[in-house]
Each structure stands twice: as structure tokens, then as C-alpha cells.
Chain A
Amino acid sequence: MNNLCRLTTAAALLMAVAVFTSPGVSGQAKPSPQAHAAGKPAQTPAKAAPKDWTQAPSSERPFRVRLDFNRWHDVAELQADMKTLEKAYPKFLKYIVLGKSYAGRDIAGIIVNNPDTGPDTAKAAMYIEANIHGNEIQGGEICIYTIWYLMENYGKIDRITKLVDERAFYIVPTVNPDGRDYFMHGPGGNARSGHMPVDDDNDYQFDEDGPEDLNGNGIIEQIRKYVPGQGNYKKSTVDPRVMEPVKPGEVGDYIVLGQEGIDHDGDGRVAEDGPGSYDPNRNFASDWQPNYIQSGAMDYPFQLPEAKAVNDFWMSHPNIAGLQTYHNNGGMILRSPGAETAGEYPASDVRAYDELGRNAVRMLPFYRYLVIWSGLYTVHGGVTDWANDGLGILSFSNELWNNGQYFTSPELKEQQKDPNSPISPRVANYFFNDFLEFGDELTEWKEFDHPQFGKVEIGGAFKKTFGRVPPRFMNEELCHRNMAWTLYQADEMPKVTLGESKVEKLGDGIFKVWLDLSNPKVAPTILAKAAMNNVVPPDLLTVDGKGVEVISASWVADKWRPAVAQSIDQKDLKRIMLRNGLAGRTTRTIQYLVKGTGPLTVKYASLKGGTAEKTIPLQ
């Protein structure tokens, strides 16, 4: 019996290998030593053998798909990971392409949906994207982590199972694939832009003089020239790797000549017209402003193919109720408005944002919940403004990572106040690099013979993977915490239910019906701003019933306090429009006066809050 059991386990494990040893999917299980021992003759124990704990299931459940979250991925790798996940979870995942970037790369994403509980478009959906700025990459890893985590834990963690059953997710790890690959493979360590050409230096040529990785180490560094006694920079006495501007009266030994590059276009200037040079997150259609008001806005909203592709996707998925667009860095949970001139959002919307934001900061240490214009800077034509104001989607933008996380404890924070401490703010990064990254994140100054500047030194730069992004070993935590917060937002998307009902017979076939309409979630079914702008169709409360006539419909102000119910002044009371829907965590009671035999079927249909139906017998 025992052996049989063992054999069965071994067979199951071998089957698992067979099923999951497809390319890119890691087979988890290896037959255990006990399985091999199964055929040996039984020995009579001299004394009671210690209990073999490996016979019991491990507290850790094996992953079907193994992915790495401690390194950075280029566009092809992100897409490969998504395809791997789709292959492992074909029922739930669908790989989609929203459109092409300017340079022709796919803007790819994943739909997460359980078809057993309905099509994705019939559910409130959470849209998650990242990397609209080319050099703000780690949100891409969060996206992959989110898909992976939802799938690996579906059926294992009840709340994840429920979330996947109730909601749909649209997850797009990079909406600027040109920028991401320019970061990963090219000299784009500091490049926010996409790659539609712009003539930055007004010489009637486009993108002809970008930065150049002259020494071929993958990093665009600074160029300095040694000019003893004539420079305006010196090596710091605290750490010679730090270059300091000289104080008045001091003499320096170095001048800094700018970033690594050569004068491609022979105009005497270096690296003044690189790829693009606009801001992809200023090309959206709410409070869009022309270039002279909002730098980098381009010529008109959705001119950029990437912006158009994601907007077309949003327009065709009006069930999207929540949005997260991951940026870096600084540790912020941002919401719109992006500009003071746009005015604050209506109070009920602010309440929902604040409730979510308050919990966000509890889940994300070192992050602050802020309004974009007042907490960061003015943004015209950004994603979250358009999504909120123009599409009625409750939207956040996380500025991932904060270098306060290098030294986290109160003791270390105290130490950093000492300017002579090896972790004082001026040199903290060097300490971290020396002791935790083994020096790998900083390049050394090396001599270089530059065609324009002659004998110079190039180097002294932290790599692009240091500073704006977390250390690789800390990225899994970043992924998980931000995912958890975004899943919390997804869970708090609106969800309508029909609650308690009460029927009172008034005689002559007339009934008074009370029915509770609820939205227990934080987010309203229609944002007040969206209702003002008329950008989301109204929620509909419809009545169906054999020979049922609705004489009147009214709102009951307070079920427990008698008062005149406020009439709903709409002509068609069998199809009542609620233009501002149901606010978050709200129950309203509607009173119908109906005539007929019933039963009465009431249906509440909300584009972003789902549908609920209740049949009430008239008696």
C-alpha cells in the first residue's frame, strides 16, 4: 500500500515533467529519492525510523512557470515571458498586440480573464501599463510579475481566485518598446522619448546627432578633461570618485565637457539631436497643450503611434474602470489633475482616491500619495488626466523606487545626517555600490582620444541600472508591493448588487416596492468628473414584468426615517438613467409604485460596475 502510494506519487511527478517541460516552462518536479527507493526490499527497523517528512506535501507549492524578477528584460524577453505564461495558462491568458511603435515594434499585452465567469468585456477591468518613458523600465517587470502571480496563485489563494473570477485585467508591460530597447541595448540610459524623429537643433535634419557610446561599455558617461589649475571641477576630498564644482576662490583641475558623444553633423556641438526628444506622456487628450505651453507635447494628441494604440484600446474597452501606469522614480503614488488650472476633482471622486491612496502608502513604504501638479510638477496632456477626465477611469501613476530604500532603518537614517559618515547623502550611492553591488554599478574614469576634444577622460558614471531602478536583488519586493497595491485597487473597482427588497400592497393592484441598490466598493460606478463630462454612459435601472406598469419611482432618503420620497423626474420609468451612478460604499433605496401582477424584475446595468438583477414577487 505504501509502495503503491509512492509509485503513484512518482508517476504523477513524472507526468508533471512531461506536461510542463515545454520550452520556456520549467519542469518543477524531480522524482524524489524516496521514489527511487520504492523498489528496494523492506528492512526490519532495529528501532522506530524517524518520520520521513518528505512524504507529506511541502508547504511551498511548486510554480508551474519560473521567471526571473531579479534582472531587467528587453522587449523580446518581456514578450517571450508573456507567451510562456499564455502557453502555461491558455484558459486565462490571451496575448494581444495593441499596435505598433514608431519603429515597428509590437506593443504587446496580456488579457487575464476567467471565461467561465463571463467575457472580459462584461467585467470591470483593471488596465496596467508601464514604461511610457523609455528609461523607466521596472514597471515592465511588475507587469510580468502580476500576470505570473495571479496565475500561479489562482486556485491556491482564495482572494486571488476571487479577484481573477470577478475582474478582468489588461496588462501591457511596455507602451514604449522603442524607448525600452534603446535603454536596454543602446545609449538610451536617460531617454524618456519615443523614436518619432524631431529636429531638436533646428538644423533641418532629424535625429542626426545623438549620444554615442564611444568606449563601448554600454553606458553614456560624462567627458572630463584634465586642466590642472584651470578647471571648475575638482575631486571631492570625501571620495575622489565624486566630482565637485569648485567654490568661489578655489581652483579646479577638471572641466566637464558634457555627455559621451561626437559631433556627427559637423556643427561643432556634440549629441544635441538624439532620437525623438519629446514626452510620450504629454500626448494625451485631456488638457493637452501645444509645445510652447507643454514641452514635448508634439503636434496634436495621439499623434504618436504608441499613444494612439493604447487610446484605441481604451476606447474599445469601456469596461476599464481602473488604471495604473508605472513610472520611475521617487516613490510616489500620483493621481491627477496634472495642472492646477484644471481644478480639483469633485469631492466624491477625491474621497475615493484618498481612501485608496491612504492604503497605498501603508503598502508601499517610502512612497507618498500626491496630486501630480502640487506634489510633482505640472503635466498637461498626461495619461491619468485623460483616463480620468475623458474616459472615466480611476487612475494612478506610481513613481517606482526611491533611493531612500538603500538605507532603510531609523539608525541608518540618523547616521546619514552626519556629513562625514560613509553613507552621508553625498557618498551613500558609492557606499552601496562598493559593498552591496561589489562595485559593479559604477564606471571608472578612463582616458580617451576624442575627435573634437582631444585627450579626455570618459567614465565616472553610475550605470543606467543604478539610481532610477532598484538594485536587482530588491526588485522582487518592488514588484510584489506595487502589484499588491494595484490588485487592491482592482478589487475596489465598482461592483453593483441589489440588496434587500420590501413589497407593500396598497390595493387596486398597486404595490409599493422598496429595493436597495448597493456598491460596496470604494470606487463609484461612474466618477463624478466623468458624469460632468458625459463620457461614460449612464447606469441603467430597468424594470421588466408581465403587465407591470410603473406609476412612479423615487429615492427613499432614509429607510428608517419617514419622509417624502424624492421623485425621479424621467419620462421612461422602466428605464431610469443614473448619470452619476452609485458612489463608492453606498446603498440607495429606490421606491417604485407599480401596478400589475408581477413578478417584477429589476436590473441594474453599469458599464464599469457590472450587472445585478433581482426578481421580486408582487404580493
Chain B
Amino acid sequence: MSIPTKRPVGWLRAIAVAALGGWLWPSTAAAVDFSKYHTYQELSAELKALVAANPTIAKIASIGKTREGRDIWAIEIANPAGTPVEQRPALLVAANFEGDHVIGSELALYLVDFLVKGYATDPAVKQRLDNHVVYVVPRVNADGAELMFASVKSGRRTNATPYDADNDGRMDEDGPEDLNKDGFITVMRVKDPKGPFMISPEDPRLMKRADPAKGEPGGWALYWEGLDKDNDGFIAEDGPGGVDINRNFMHQYPYFEPDAGRYMVSEAETRAMLEFVLKHRNIAAILTFGESDNLIVTPTRRGDRAAANPINLLEFANRSLADARRVGLFQDTGGFGGRGGRGGRGGGGGMVIMDEGAFPGGRGGAAAQPTGRAAMPAQRPNTTIATLDYEYFRAISEKYRELTGLRATGITRTPAGAFFEYGYYQFGVPSFSTPGWGLPGGGRPAGMGMGAGAPAGPGGAAAGAALAGAPAGVGQRGGGGARGAMGGAAADAASADAPEGIDLRLIQWMDAEKIDGFVKWTPFKHPTLGEVEIGGFKPYLTTNPPAAKIAELGASHAKFALYLSSLFSKVKIAKAEVTALGAGLFRIKADIENAGFLPTALSQGAQARAVKPVMVQLGVPPDSIVTGNEKTNHIPALAGSGSRQSFEWVIKGTPGSTVTLKAVSQKSGTDTATLTLR
């Protein structure tokens, strides 16, 4: 299943290309075609050609394999002369965690092209690549992305891992079907007296949820285009795949939802990304392209992201699946032991000590009676941007809007379990996500994103919530025809807080841009539902801009990446003085400075213990220090823009000998000073 791409032999290939093109290194690769979306094979070939043509500054490596055997490529771009690359501050750019978001791969490919070709001509690029390093992982979910080029376009977001989405003991047995053979998986609308939806008065192509309080009748049900192949009453509730990689990381992981995987980091793609970043602790900033945003719309001052913008039509179709995972949940008849169980709580108290050995007699009372509430309330992880970090996010997103001209997002989603969230909350660096394109519109001024409670994700989230609170005997509703026509009660309730769908803006934009992105509703005779209409947004055209926009977006995002990599913190020994005090005693004074813009660690990075403190170490035997600072000192975080911290030692030493002072950091470089005692 692996894509047969010939592996170019570095310099041979370079020479061959140079000979053919008659050009000289470094800019020898044929121009990359940015007027189209690239298949995996094409993307791999372009990347390898760019690396082969610039073998000094670019390297390509596989950081893992997808289930279908595709390599996940990582490109390292830096001029390796000078400071070892792994000790330099790094920018990581990663894209295509979501299978249906392929524009990110193109922007990432553009960036690789921009950097390797710009090294010779653009002083800013040269400066970055001489001093920093850029890692680019352009296609994380390569199996998912490949479906964009399939004959039937499904818009699937997940990878290729088989997954029993409705947990009925059968794997991937009831996926969507292209019933009308137009090459697109869209949705079906059916006249149904019990259906809660109505045709939108704003645009007859769109559907809205009828509001009984406004006297609106429903009359329509919505389903994904498909059949009930497993005869369970639900349509297309368990298709091929898989796990959404951007729901498989740890921050706010959506436990036990169908597209989130069996557990955190269950997927090869997820693990490959984590292993990569954990091996590259020099990564000081992360830019991802994906379906969530914290750049086009700045987070609120409280540190919340803007609310997600889903497509109502698809959300409605998803709701018809909400009950599929609840069928067969029967009331508990009690079993043994009668009613009620003992709760997990009781009186008493106690210390929290991290070793059972501290409780030689055990604690607490009788059997089956948990004895005490932990004295220390369980801490919870942070879920909003730290106050001290906010200004950096604001300034960077402002610059993003200035460089890209983007003001309003298209569809976006709640990033529960997304990689970029891990990047900030657990890896501890400035970490961003942008869809990489937007819709026209004023957008909101910086800091005014409509923050607050992120809504539940599509489909599965609603199902999960419904299940948790499901009353006994659910699944006992009378039903005929297709189940789920009404959506679960809980799913309905969830929709009350759901954000406004983006359907109207999307379709108006498509009309204005003359994008053929909506399949007109056309009648179809469905084997179980009878007369239906099939139509709706075409997959991929809602999550990716027209290919004609790639070059322009690529250029502006490359500039933004270049800007991001100019912000890194930089640790320097700004001052180091030796004064002889007599009697073999010397006073050493030193100032450690952060000459960069970003702090050596964000507040979150320091709190999460994700970013190591800067170590300031004087290379003398510990017992030669008479007074002053310790031999080894740590600065948890040093602000940027020239902030300094001072150190002072009085040591006993041999006149004329030398002492080494080191300032070592994870993401801000290393500096050394050799001091002569005199």
C-alpha cells in the first residue's frame, strides 16, 4: 500500500536536476505547481525533489507510518554550520491532522519551497536558517487526505483505523453511500411529520431547526447519504475509519467519543507527532494548519478561544446518529444486593502522601466504607491561556491578520484533543492553529472573540453527553421508518446552546466566488426511506479554498512563519566580570539576558514543567564557592526584550586560571563565557 516513490539519491539527484535545468545550486528544483492540491505521491515527490535540490539546508525523514503504510514526512530546514541544529530554537509547522483539511499541506509545502529557495536570495530567510531551525510535517493524516482524490468524495476526517463507531460488535459495516452517483457524499432530506427541521426562509437550499416557540413547523428529517446496511435502523452510522488525529491528543481529550480513538494517543500518527516533538525539545513555537483557529480571531482576554463555526446541515445529519450508540441500553433490574451502592465518599480526612508505605496500618474504617475525602482537592489542568501569556497571543494574532489579510474564519471546530492545544497547555510553547484561509467579512476586533463555553463537537459529542445522562430504559421509544429522525432528546437539548451555523455565509461566498460547491437537492428513491432528496455542500469545498488561492495564501503564511521564527527567546551572558579580592578570592558578577522577544518559558510552560528552566552554572568545584549564588542556578522563565537576571559568586581560585560560566536553555540557545581569575 506504500506509495512507490523513487527515493532520490541526494547529490546525484541534485546534479541530475542541475544538468537538466542548466541551473546552479541552490535553486534547481523545478517550480512546484501551486495551482492544485497534491496527492500523497505528488506531495512526497515534491518534498523529496526540494530536499534533493537543497541537500545542505534541507533533510527529509519519515517519523512514522500510517496504517495504510504511508510515511509521515518531516522536513528539517536549517543551515547546519555553526550551533548544532538540535540546540537552536525551532519552529514546528504541522498540517493535515484532519483528513479533510488539505490546504494546510499545501501551505506547508509552500513554506518548504519558500525557505529552501529563499535561503540564497532573502536575507531574512538566511538569518533564520543560519540561527534557527524549521521543522515541517506537511501531512500527518496521509491516509485521510488521500480520500480527497478518491472517485467518491466523502470528506472523511479520520484516519484508516477500523473503528466500531456505534459499538454494535460489527466493524465499519454501515458507511455512507453515493446513492445518486454524483461522486459526492452529501445528505438526504426526507419529508417526515416527526422531523424537526424546515427549509430555511433565508435560502431554500439550506435547512434550519424549526422553533416551535416561533410557530415554526418542522416536517423534514435529515440523514447522511447512505443506506441502513446493517439493518439497525440507523443510516451510515459506522463507516470506514477511524480516528480524528486532532481529537487524539491529551488536552481536553474527548474520552470515549467515537472519533477520538479508544484512548489518548492510540494512533500511530499521534504517537509519531508526540515522539517527534519530545525528541525536539528545542521547538519553541508551533504553527499548525487545521480546522480550529486562534489566529484569525484572537482569544478573549480571559484566554478563551472563539466559538466554533460548524455547518448546520452536517450537524443535523449527525444528530440522526446520536442514538445509535445507545440502542440496547436496558434498565438495570437490580441484580443482587438490592438497591443502591455505597458511595465513594465518607467522613474523615487525611494527608496526601505519595507513597502507600506511609500508611503502615492502612487508614479508615470498616470494609466497603471509603474513609475520607482527600484533603487536597484534586487539581485541574488549565484550559484558558494564562494571563501572563495572553499578550503574546494577542500580538502574534494581530500580526497574522496583518500579514494574511484574513479577518473571518470559515468553518471551525472545537479543538478538544487537538495537537496545537497540547502544544501550549502541555508542551508549553506558543502554539497556534489556523484554517489557513477564511471567508470575507469584517470579523471581530482583536480580543472580542465570542469566547465562553466551547460547544459540544458534532455528532459523537452529543451522543456522549446524551448517554451519560440517559435515563433507564432508553432505546424504548416507539419508532418506525428510520430511527434517529428526531435526534435523541439530549441531542436536541444540546442544540439549544449550539452556535449559529455558518451555512448561509458559506453558500453566499460560494455564489459570489462562482464555486460549484453545493449539490442541488434532487429527488431519489431510497430503498427504506422512500422518496428523498439528496443534496448539500460538496465535501472538501467547505474545508479548503479553491486551488487558485494556494499560492497567495502560501506566500502570506510563509511570511507569517518567518515572522514567528523571529520572536524566539535568546539567552546570552550579557555581562561577566571578575574582581580580585585578595587572599585568592575572586568576585564574579554576571548578567543573563534574554535578547529575544518571547520569554524563555511561557507562564504555562513553566507551570506545566514542560519547559526547562535556564541553567546558569559556574564551572568550579562546589566547595570553592565561598558565598553568593549556588554553583548551579535555575531561572524558570526570563522575560524577553532584554530582561536580565544577575548572579554573583565569591570563589576561591588560583590566580591566572580560568573559569567557565554557562547559560544553558532548552529553547533559547546556550552561551558560554570563559573568565580568567585576576
Contact = CB atoms under 8 A, between A and B. Distances in A.
A613 B29 CA distance: 68
A596 interface: no
A347 B264 CA distance: 27
A404 B363 CA distance: 12
A303 B275 CA distance: 9
Interface string A291-328: 11101000111110000000000010000000000011
A471 to B, nearest CB: 15
A377 B353 contact: yes
A332 interface: yes
A143 to B, nearest CB: 19
Nearest to B275: A303
Contacts of A540: 169
B547 to A, nearest CB: 36
A361 B367 contact: yes
Interface in A416-458: 452
Interface residues of A, number: 100
Contact of B341 (A350, A378, A380): A350
A534 B256 contact: yes
Nearest to A294: B379
Interface in B217-250: 228, 231-233, 250
A130 B274 CA distance: 29
Contacts of B366: 368
Contacts of B326: 579
Contacts of B343: 344, 350
Given A532-B467, A535-B262, A351 B337 contact: yes
A351 B328 contact: no
A402 interface: yes
Interface in B604-662: 607-610, 612-613, 615, 617, 621-623, 630-632, 634
A203 B617 contact: yes
A402 B361 contact: yes
A583 B476 CA distance: 19
A528 B334 CA distance: 12
Given A295-B354, A524-B335, A579-B327, A331 B265 contact: no
A289 interface: yes
Interface stretch (A28-36, A38-46, A75-83, A570-578): A570-578
Max chain B C-beta neighbours (<10 A), residue from A330, A376, A538, A567: A376
B475 A569 contact: yes
A467 B473 CA distance: 52
Contact of A330 (B232, B356, B632): B356
Interface string B307-343: 0000000000000000001111110111111011111
Contacts of A358: 367-368
A361 B365 CA distance: 12
Interface in A323-359: 327-332, 337, 339-341, 344-345, 347-355, 357-358
Contact of B164 (A267, A377, A403, A537): A537
Given A344-B345, A577-B327, A354 B168 contact: no
Nearest to A359: B367
Nearest to A406: B360
Contact of A370 (B370, B376, B380, B621): B370
Contact of A355 (B233, B337, B425, B610): B337
B378 A570 contact: no
B356 A328 contact: yes
B333 A373 contact: no
A368 B376 CA distance: 22
B168 A537 contact: yes
B342 A528 contact: no
Interface in A265-295: 266-268, 285-286, 288-293, 295
B479 A263 contact: no
B468 interface: yes
B379 A293 contact: yes
A452 B631 CA distance: 15
A216 B354 CA distance: 29
Contact of A267 (B363, B473, B631): B631
Interface string B375-419: 011111100000000000000000000000000000000000000
A468 interface: yes
A201 B634 CA distance: 10
A289 B169 CA distance: 30
Interface in A231-279: 263, 266-268
A617 B664 CA distance: 82
A23 B333 CA distance: 55
B344 A344 contact: yes
B374 interface: yes
B364 A354 contact: no
A300 B270 CA distance: 11
B649 to A, nearest CB: 12
A555 interface: yes
11 contacts: A301-B263, A303-B265, A337-B344, A351-B341, A374-B346, A374-B371, A399-B359, A569-B478, A569-B479, A570-B232, A586-B336
Interface of A: 192, 199, 201-204, 263, 266-268, 285-286, 288-293, 295, 299-303, 315, 327-332, 337, 339-341, 344-345, 347-355, 357-358, 360-361, 366-371, 373-378, 380, 386, 390, 399, 402-404, 452, 467-468, 522, 524, 528, 531-535, 537-538, 540, 555, 566-567, 569-572, 576-580, 583-586, 588
Across the A-B interface, the 6 shortest Cβ-Cβ residue pairs: A350-B341, A268-B622, A585-B336, A583-B335, A577-B328, A285-B263
Given A299-B426, A340-B377, A467-B357, 6 more contacts: A267-B622, A340-B345, A376-B356, A378-B352, A533-B255, A569-B478
Interface of B: 164, 167-169, 228, 231-233, 250, 255-256, 258, 262-266, 274, 278, 325-330, 332-337, 339-346, 352-357, 359-368, 370-374, 376-381, 425-426, 467-468, 473, 475-479, 483, 607-610, 612-613, 615, 617, 621-623, 630-632, 634, 664, 666
